[in-house]
């Protein structure tokens, strides 16, 4: 086994480069053909059933409206069921032929099974599942705040876990189920507003529109795209991360240090305004 590993370490790198040089042009041509196909063909979601989690506000709310404009039937899920009533009414006015609302907590496995079953019982089918619901912890990285993404996954950073999970799922299900992974930038939502309350540096980042983001997501899902990023300018960071990860790490560390220093300065300024306190030790 050790000798086989040594052989692979020696032979595979040059063989991979040779194979890559041979296949690059055909693969690029194939990708261009697939791109043209997606531009010509897009899925018609009229009268199809779409289940959206976290639909009471933000991107989830705008996704409901975008699917409604396209004539889809909606199953709207959120822990704040009372807020779904207004979203459902607006969706109907935009062209949604039928909509049901379900109050559920996506962090509970039983609730997830429940709202899927309720959707299937109500409509008899499910065509699009939009996993949108999320939470904000109020901290950038704190190990104690990590949660298990599901009962089958180890504790890890949730976004990385979700992306890797669906990339693996895409390979397992093949062509039977289309999976579009959304990597949004900083979008103007209630969640983002809460984040800015904790990290002032985030207020300097350009924010995208929730409605435009929702439109981009639905269009990509209907085209069968594997990934969608909105705002699109965020994509320029990807080649830097692949080619020069050290530069990206340094830039992010620099930004975070500025944020931390700013928070410390504000805290000190706040304390300097507090009148002198006198303490009395009781012995």
> What local confidence, expressed as pLDDT, does residue 262 receive?
52
> What local confidence, expressed as pLDDT, does residue 88 receive?
97
Judged by average pLDDT, the poorest of 13-27, 34-48, 189-203, 266-280 is 266-280
Band of pLDDT at residue 233, cut at 50, 70 and 90 = confident
Is-contact 100 76, C-beta < 8 A?
yes
Q: How far apart are CA 58 and CA 134, in angstroms?
A: 11
Torsion of CA 30, 31, 37, 38, to 10 degrees: 160
Mean pLDDT, rounded, for 189-198: 65
Report the b/e string of 116-132 with b at 16+ CB within 10 A: bebbeeebeeeebbbeb
| CA 65 to chain CA mean position, Å | 18
Please check the confidence at residue 268 and state whether its pLDDT lies above 90.
no
Band of pLDDT at residue 251, cut at 50, 70 and 90 = confident
Mean pLDDT, rounded, for 118-123: 96
> What local confidence, expressed as pLDDT, does residue 258 receive?
66
> What local confidence, expressed as pLDDT, does residue 192 receive?
65
Q: How far apart are CA 26 and CA 106, in angstroms?
A: 43
Say if residue 231 is preceded by a cis peptide, omega within 30 of 0. Answer: yes
What SS3 class is residue 103? strand
Residues 88-104: pLDDT tens digits? 999 999 999 999 999 99
If one compares 16 and 136, the residue with the highest pLDDT of the two is 16
Band of pLDDT at residue 203, cut at 50, 70 and 90 = low
Q: How far apart are CA 70 and CA 261, in angstroms?
A: 48
Judged by average pLDDT, the poorest of 8-12, 143-147, 200-204, 246-250 is 143-147
> What local confidence, expressed as pLDDT, does residue 230 receive?
85
Please check the confidence at residue 12 and state whether its pLDDT lies above 50.
yes
- Sign of the dihedral through C-alpha 210, 215, 221, 226: negative
Please check the confidence at residue 154 and state whether its pLDDT lies above 50.
no
Please check the confidence at residue 264 and state whether its pLDDT lies above 50.
no
Mean pLDDT, rounded, for 255-270: 55
> What local confidence, expressed as pLDDT, does residue 162 receive?
84
Mean pLDDT, rounded, for 8-22: 89
State pTM to two decimals. Answer: 0.74
Residue whose C-alpha is closest to residue 184's, from 164, 158, 214: 214
Q: What average pLDDT does the structure give for the chain?
A: 80
H-helix or E-strand containing 91? Answer: helix 81-93
Residue 272 has a CB neighbour count (10 Å cut-off) of: 7
DSSP assignment letter at 179: -
Mean pLDDT, rounded, for 209-222: 92
H-helix or E-strand containing 81? Answer: helix 81-93
């Amino acid at each position: 086994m050790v000798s086989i590993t040594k052989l692979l370490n020696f032979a595979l790198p040059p063989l991979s480069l040779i194979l890559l040089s041979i296949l690059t042009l055909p693969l690029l041509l194939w990708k261009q053909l697939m791109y043209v196909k997606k531009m010509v063909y897009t899925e018609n979601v009229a009268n199809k059933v779409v289940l959206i989690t976290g639909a009471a506000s933000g991107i989830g709310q705008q996704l409901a409206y975008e699917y409604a404009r396209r004539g889809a039937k909606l199953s709207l899920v959120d822990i704040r069921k009372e807020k779904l009533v207004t979203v459902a009414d607006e969706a109907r006015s935009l062209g949604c032929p039928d909509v049901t609302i379900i109050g559920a907590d996506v962090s509970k496995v039983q609730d997830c099974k429940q709202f899927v079953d309720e959707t299937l019982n109500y409509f008899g089918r499910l065509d699009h599942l939009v996993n949108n619901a999320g939470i904000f912890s109020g901290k950038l990285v704190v190990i104690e705040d990590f949660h298990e993404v599901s009962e089958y996954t180890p504790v890890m950073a949730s976004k990385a876990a979700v992306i890797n999970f669906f990339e693996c799922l895409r390979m397992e299900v093949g062509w039977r189920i289309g999976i579009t992974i959304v990597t949004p930038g900083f979008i103007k939502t209630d969640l983002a507003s809460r984040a800015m309350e904790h990290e002032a540096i985030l207020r300097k980042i350009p924010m995208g529109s929730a409605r435009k983001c929702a439109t981009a997501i639905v269009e990509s899902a209907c085209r069968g795209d594997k990934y969608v990023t909105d705002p699109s300018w965020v994509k320029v960071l990807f080649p830097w991360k692949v080619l020069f990860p050290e530069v990206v790490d340094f830039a992010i560390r620099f930004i975070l240090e500025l944020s931390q220093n700013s928070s410390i300065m504000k805290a000190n300024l706040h304390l300097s305004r507090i009148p002198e306190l006198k303490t009395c030790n009781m012995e």
